Amino acid sequence: MGKQDWKAQRERKAFLALEDGSVFRGYSVGAAADAVGEVVFNTGMSGYEEILSDPSYAGQFVTMTYPEIGNTGINAADMESRGLFLNGFLMHSVNETSNWRAEESLRAALQRRGIPALAGLDTRALTCKLRDTGTLKGCLSVEGKLSEAEAVAKAKAWEGLDGQDYASRVSCDKPYVWDPEGTMTASWGFSPTLPPADLNVVAYDFGIKWNILRNLRQCGMKVTVVPAKTPAADVLAMTPDGVFLSNGPADPAAVGYAADAIRALLGKVPLMGICLGHQLLGIALGGKTYRLKFGHHGINHPVMNLATRAVEVTSQNHNFAIDPATLGEDVEVTHLNLNDQTVEGLRSRCVPAFSVQYHPEAGPGPHDPFYLFNQFRDLMKKA
């Protein structure tokens, strides 16, 4: 901690106000800007760099349940996207950087990117409240201009994420080929020599993470990334061997244009989806989604592969799930969450298409589900 923090820590003028009237006080360590957002908690003990840069957190305040954050600083090589998309960051204790790889401190990165953040919060109490009451809307007050009552009113008045299309807000503006020189993939912990890219994949960017693209390239795929609202006809005109449906933020039911595009692609090209892409594939196959009480946000969620009965430890980040009762006989549930029995994977029995709710790219998280990228490759080869 710098000496300049002690006065702010004692005074605790900054605070988080929730829509139910609760107030959690702390001190500002990010941008000097008030904000509103949906408050969630992440149970990961590491990986805050990847969490900060995950576009799926757009519109949300992320509460870290692990109490000590900041030691590893910020390193551009660990980023999962072109920027920070979350609305705010909440911590118990923020530490100064102590890592030879760090290029910037956590505080400096948050301030430079305009992301408000609080430290000194009772994150245990906040997490327990969210588990009991469910996800809540909040207002982060750091400018010192709002009273607690005014901040609570702002939290209540915010539209929230239900029914909101955030995928188009975080998506790329125009198509691009991922890492044509191989430098961003080969240099990131992989072998310097990548396999030939003998399959062409088009990836919908609903909030895609770079490690997904690295994994696809590592499995011999050339990936062209397209914006969220790209019509199916434009994708098919690129004659891909397969189409990937990425992760992304907010409510899948609000991304109707994507579900329509997926329906038009079914049976014409193999499909693989993860997270939001999984939910959108489920909708395209006739299913419906519903909101989870407090979502799944962490890197240690147990999931059973129903075909092999093997249990995978998985990384997850989502607030919605597919209702299995709405799926027809042509859709098979392939994976289940062992914590709450929610649908974690599905496949079509009629066309080459499958998806999982969790994140097989392990950024951050375990590598148990990496086989799914090779499963996608096999599906394209068979097609």
Residue pLDDT, tens place only, 184-241: 887 666 566 889 999 999 999 999 999 999 999 999 999 999 999 999 999 999 999 9
Average pLDDT over residues 21-39: 97
Q: Active-site residue 361, yes or no?
A: yes
Domain with CATH 3.40.50.880 in the chain: 167-382
Phi and psi at residue 144, to the nearest 5°: 80, 15
Structure tokens at 361: 């790219």
Domain with CATH 3.50.30.20 in the chain: 5-157
> Which pLDDT score, from 0 to 100, does residue 363 have?
85
Residue pLDDT, tens place only, 276-320: 999 999 999 999 999 999 999 999 999 999 999 999 999 999 999
Q: Active-site residue 359, yes or no?
A: yes
Q: What CATH number labels 167-382?
A: 3.40.50.880
**Band of pLDDT at residue 10, cut at 50, 70 and 90:** confident
> Which pLDDT score, from 0 to 100, does residue 252 have?
98
Out of 92, 296, 297, 359, pick the active-site residue. 359
Give residue for tokens 């092999």.
Answer: 308
Spatial distance between the Cα atoms of 371 and 356, rounded to a whole number of angstroms: 12
> Which pLDDT score, from 0 to 100, does residue 1 have?
42
Rg (CA), the chain: 21
Residue pLDDT, tens place only, 136-195: 999 999 999 999 999 999 999 999 999 999 999 999 999 999 999 988 887 666 566 889
Out of 50, 312, 344, 361, pick the active-site residue. 361
**pTM exceeds 0.75:** yes
Structure tokens at 140: 């982060």
> Which pLDDT score, from 0 to 100, does residue 183 have?
84
Greater confidence (286 vs 5) lies with 286
Residue 209: name the closest of 249, 167, 247 by CA.
247
Burial class, 273, CB count within 10 angstroms (exposed 0-12 / middle 13-18 / buried 19+): buried
Mention the CATH class of domain 5-157. Answer: alpha beta
**Quick check: 83 and 53 in contact, CB under 8 A?**
yes
> Which pLDDT score, from 0 to 100, does residue 182 have?
86
**Quick check: 1 and 107 in contact, CB under 8 A?**
no
Q: Containing H/E element for 335?
A: strand 331-337
Out of 92, 275, 296, 312, pick the active-site residue. 275
DSSP H stretches of helix in the chain: 5-11, 48-52, 106-113, 123-133, 148-157, 167-170, 183-186, 210-218, 232-236, 256-265, 276-284, 371-382
**Quick check: 118 and 27 in contact, CB under 8 A?**
yes
Q: What is the average pLDDT value for the chain, to the nearest integer? A: 95
Structure tokens at 99: 């890592």
> Which pLDDT score, from 0 to 100, does residue 275 have?
97
Per DSSP, the three-state class of 16 is: strand
CB within 8 Å of 180: residues ≥ 6 apart = none
> Which pLDDT score, from 0 to 100, does residue 279 have?
98
**Band of pLDDT at residue 11, cut at 50, 70 and 90:** confident
Per DSSP, the three-state class of 82 is: coil
- Is pLDDT of 6 > 80? no
